Amino acid sequence: MNLRYLAGDTYVHRLDPRTKLFVQAAVAVAAFAHTTPAGLVALTAFVGGVCRLAATPVAASLRSYRAFLPFLVAGPLVEAATLGAPWFVVADAVTPALASYRVLLLLLVSTAYIRTTRVRESRVAIQWLLPGRVGVILGAGVGFVLRFLPVLRDDLATVRAAMHARLGSERSLRERIRLIGVTGLRRVFRRADRFALALQARCFAWNPTLPALSPTWRDAPATLVGVALLAWAVA
């Protein structure tokens, strides 16, 4: 599953992007305030409900982050490993494991946001939150990343498929990493040059006419949920 907007008519699709950003921030605050297993279980149930309302499959979302998952798993293992007996202390792995799990929950909420929010709406929300030149620059940067990242992921997938078609899987791991890395970087720079040329050809402006945002009655329950999460974090 690619990390990009997918048109739909779910409840989360119809929310104001500012409301969705507020709920995301509230989830992040609650995740770092409640670090116990019981708190994370409650937060897991909430995140699962968000993914369901946003029609975001959890397993497919986690596969989209498979390049980062080994680092989340390695953290607790490295923390618990010792240079002598007993070689592995389970108690030392608990805290980093809970931290890694919090990151997974935040990634799932972010995926639900990306899949249900148009890039232009995200830019408007950011510029509303941060008025002035800072908001304009940050909004444009976020828009570029959300549009550019799925293309780069598709390029890497194409490189891997082409390498396997040419029996690249029979090469050593180091050689495969080198081929994918070099070819992927070459495509990144080529895409960046074409992207810059496209912006110039379209007379890119820092103050384009963006869509107007208008909250509806659907945003009221979601806002109350965000407020409840913040209150839970404080309490």
Contact 154, 167 (CB under 8 A): no
Q: Do 206 and 218 share a domain, yes or no?
A: no
Q: Are residues 48 and 135 in the same domain?
A: no
In angstroms, rounded to a whole number, what is the distance separating the alpha carbons of residues 130 and 110? 20
Is the overall model pTM greater than 0.85, yes or no? no
Residues 112 and 141 in one domain: no
pLDDT digits 0-9 by tens, 65-87: 877 778 888 878 877 787 777 77
Question: 109 and 4 in one domain?
Answer: yes
- Over the stretch 114-135, which tens digit does the pLDDT of each residue have? 888 888 888 888 878 777 777 7
Q: How many structural domains are present in the chain?
A: 2
- Same domain? 99 vs 28: yes
- Above 90 in pLDDT, residue 46? yes
- Is the per-residue pLDDT at 29 higher than 80? yes
Domain that holds residue 149: 119-210
Q: What is the pLDDT of residue 224?
A: 92
Alpha helices in 5-87 (DSSP H): 17-33, 37-53, 58-64, 69-80
Predicted confidence at residue 203, as pLDDT, reads 66
Q: Which of 9-18, 123-132, 138-147 is least confident?
A: 138-147
Q: Is the domain of 37 the same as that of 94? A: yes
Residues 111 and 125 occupy one common structural domain: no
